[in-house]
Amino acid sequence: MLNVQRIRKDFPILSRKMDGKRLVYLDSAATSQKPVSVINAVKEFYEKHNSNVHRSVYKLSEEATELYEGARDAIAKFVGAKSDEMVFVRNTTEALNLVAYAWAMHNIQKGDEVLITEMEHHSNILPWQMVCKAKGAKLVYAKVRDFAIDMNDFESKLTKRTKIVSVAHVSNVLGTINDVKRLEKLSHDNNSLFVVDGAQAVPHMKVDVKDIDADFYAFSGHKMLGPHIGMLYGRKQILEGMEPFMRGGSMVKDVTQQDAKWNDVPWKFEAGTPAVAEAAGLVEAVRYLQRLDMDDVRKHEMQLTEYALKKMQGIKGVRVFGPRTNRGGVISFTLGNAHPHDIATVLDSEGVCIRGGHHCAKPLMQALGVDAVSRASFYVYNGKDDVEVFVKALGKAKAVLRR
């Protein structure tokens, strides 16, 4: 199991005092903290290898290229993919927009449908809204019931008109872990493209994109101990048939005054100067997680979440949103009539960082019948002592906000 006290020593920011109190960081679902090895990897790139990639024959550029492509190789293996199926992007949001612009805008026609669910992050809603409005298609939502996808509703809305199915692997609000393999089979049996938002999955559990058999799978480095960079896995045959999302330097083999020939996959989707330092940082984050072992990461979060849920039961007025079991390390809740921002402010005074708001999931808030919720999210550097401080601070918030 994870040695949290030892792990915390790897994260410089966790030694910081917040108004004299120990920092308890419970907002990793938004962005994770970074270990010193990741920070040093980025720093070392700029100090020793800083150059552009793919474009020069001098040694510095060759070193940068080797780092960049080596990072692609390692990250691909981490999720069970091949290097030429992995596209570097800024984040999950850009990855999903890439699919929307480069595939959907060229393949969706009037009368087609895109099927998503009520629990999606805005990043898995807005690109499909754009496509459907532009192409005269319809965006369809499968309902959420008992904090999970209503599978009867999902199957009833999966029709011959459904061209794309796009779902979250793990909900960033509910913590629900969706059965993506079942959803994949239903989608592919229906001849629908299957897209997965893996932003809340890859950092917290073993993910094998080949086992899931997704056509596209997107995730973000900044949620998995890495810098602000992301990746899109795509089935190579599909990637090869797609038009580029962005156009410019590096993504071409030849350019004439009136035409151009695109580079091979995946480089044809990586226009301009890439985030090489961030790629170097992300591969170090992958190595860090591999040293911890993703099975142990998952077990640790399961135990910590279970412990927190039990402790929160002792606070009258707390209402938790999410399944009791089979969930990720995210707990969303309300506390009586207190506004989530007020709760977060009180907890901040105790050194506890949580998120309050709609969490870029307004359709889900509407489905749940609330305007906003508070959210605590756990990761490898959190322990039971963090839960104790969190619950004690929550008790203080209840007392303060009741006045």
**How wide is the angle at C-alpha 180 spanned by C-alphas 242 and 128, nearest 5°?**
45
**What pLDDT sits at residue 55?**
76
Under the banding of pLDDT at 50, 70 and 90, the label for residue 177 is very high
- What's the gap between Cα 282 and its chain centre? 14
The stretch 358-365 carries a mean pLDDT of: 98
Tens-digit pLDDT profile for residues 305-342: 999 999 999 999 999 999 988 999 999 999 999 999 99
Q: Is residue 87 pLDDT above 80, yes or no?
A: yes
Under the banding of pLDDT at 50, 70 and 90, the label for residue 402 is confident
Task: Say which CATH architecture domain 4-30+294-401 belongs to.
Answer: Alpha-Beta Complex (3.90)
Distance CA 2, CA 52 (A): 38
Q: Annotated catalytic sites, by residue?
A: 360
Domain map (residue ranges) of the chain? 4-30+294-401, 39-290
Q: What is the mean pLDDT of the chain?
A: 97
Q: Which CATH number fits domain 39-290: 3.40.50.2300, 3.40.640.10, 3.30.2130.10, 3.40.50.300?
A: 3.40.640.10
Distance CA 378, CA 27 (A): 7
pTM of the model: 0.97
Distance CA 82, CA 74 (A): 9
The amino acid that residue 173 corresponds to is V
Burial 300-339 (b: 16+ CB within 10 A, else e): bbbebbebbbebbeebeebebbbbeeebbbbbbbbbeebb
Q: Is residue 56 pLDDT above 90, yes or no?
A: no
The stretch 282-290 carries a mean pLDDT of: 98
Burial class (CB in 10 A: 0-12, 13-18, 19+), 15: exposed
Q: Do domains 4-30+294-401 and 39-290 have the same CATH topology?
A: no
Distance CA 402, CA 321 (A): 22
**What pLDDT sits at residue 403?**
54
Q: Is residue 182 pLDDT above 70, yes or no?
A: yes
Q: Is residue 44 pLDDT above 60, yes or no?
A: yes
Half-sphere CA count of 269, side-chain side, radius 13 A: 30
CA dihedral 212, 213, 215, 217 (to 10 degrees): 20
Tens-digit pLDDT profile for residues 3-22: 999 999 999 999 999 999 99
**What pLDDT sits at residue 3?**
97
Tens-digit pLDDT profile for residues 150-167: 999 999 999 999 999 999
Under the banding of pLDDT at 50, 70 and 90, the label for residue 221 is very high
Closest CA to 26 of 399, 340, 400, 348: 348
